[in-house]
């Protein structure tokens, strides 16, 4: 369903006019199947969030391509309503002047559907993420971090996408709230038959929700392993990384 083909991305090292470049993503290829949760684990600065932006079509690759159902994600029509995202900074993900209803309606308004029907959908979406209908009239500053992230998830599923990219989506939440959000994500994945690309540094979270994991190192795919075979990773870097993450 989602296919990354030989993708590369570089940035200028010393500002816009510098000729020196740093390659952040290097010749990366993999696939995420329909209904799969694919984890991407790497150290800070490994390039995994840049890879996430390439998958979302937010940035153009220097080389290679990202295909969704055989079509390039750089075409907005390909990803519109089909690919959503939930990011780490849930506070800045929602316009502070929007009500919760406005925030959830934002992606729905891009679709040519009856506005009243979309408004009626908001209550159902809130219920699905564990919030009651009274939240639709609240503003982000009135909600806790966990509640705002639930709203971000409601917004992400509002168009019933086939794939959601989650970039460190639980890392800024309390441990008890993280478990609640992971359980919610598992329920929604089954309900909507979605795929997830789950970018994280948290090996426990990845093991809880993912089917396969990509070990990401310095912008490259070090190893891809099924979650039940995680203890049998082959490369020394993967073994060291997993030991480090588990003890954090």
Cβ-based neighbours of 194, under 8 Å, separated by 6 or more: 35, 157, 161, 162, 163, 164, 188
Per residue in 151-174, pLDDT (tens digit) is: 999 999 999 999 999 999 998 888
Q: Which CATH number applies to 1-79+197-248? A: 3.40.50.300
**Sign of the C-alpha dihedral, residues 224, 226, 227, 228?**
negative
57, two tokens: 């079509």
In 3D, which of 21, 2, 27 has the Cα closest to residue 219?
Answer: 27
pLDDT tens digits for range 45-84: 899 999 999 999 999 999 999 999 999 999 999 999 999 9
pLDDT for 242: 79
Q: What is the mean pLDDT of residues 189-213?
A: 93
Per-residue confidence band for 248, with pLDDT thresholds at 50, 70 and 90: low
Average pLDDT, the chain: 90
In this predicted structure, what is the pLDDT of residue 246?
66
């Amino acid at each position: 369903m989602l296919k990354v083909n030989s993708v590369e991305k570089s940035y200028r090292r010393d500002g816009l006019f510098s000729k020196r470049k740093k390659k952040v993503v290097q010749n990366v290829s993999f696939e995420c199947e329909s209904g799969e949760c694919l984890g991407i684990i790497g150290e800070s600065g490994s390039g995994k969030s840049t890879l996430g932006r390439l998958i979302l079509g937010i940035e153009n690759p220097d080389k290679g391509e990202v295909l969704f159902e055989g079509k390039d994600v750089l075409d907005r029509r390909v990803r519109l309503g089909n690919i959503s995202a939930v990011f780490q900074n849930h506070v800045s993900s929602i316009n502070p002047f929007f009500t919760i209803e406005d925030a959830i309606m934002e992606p729905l308004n891009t679709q040519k559907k009856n506005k009243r029907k979309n408004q009626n959908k908001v209550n159902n979406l809130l219920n699905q993420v564990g919030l009651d209908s009274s939240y639709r009239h609240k503003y982000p500053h009135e909600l806790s971090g966990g509640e705002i992230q639930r709203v971000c998830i409601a917004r992400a599923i509002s168009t019933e996408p086939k794939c959601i990219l989650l970039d460190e989506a639980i890392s800024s939440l309390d441990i008890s709230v993280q478990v609640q959000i992971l359980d919610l994500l598992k329920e929604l994945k089954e309900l909507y038959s979605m795929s997830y690309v789950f970018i994280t540094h948290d090996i426990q979270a990845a093991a809880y929700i993912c089917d396969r994991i990509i070990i990401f190192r310095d912008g490259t795919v070090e190893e891809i392993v099924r979650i039940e075979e995680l203890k049998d990773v082959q490369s020394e870097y993967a073994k060291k990384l997993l030991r480090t993450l588990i003890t954090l």
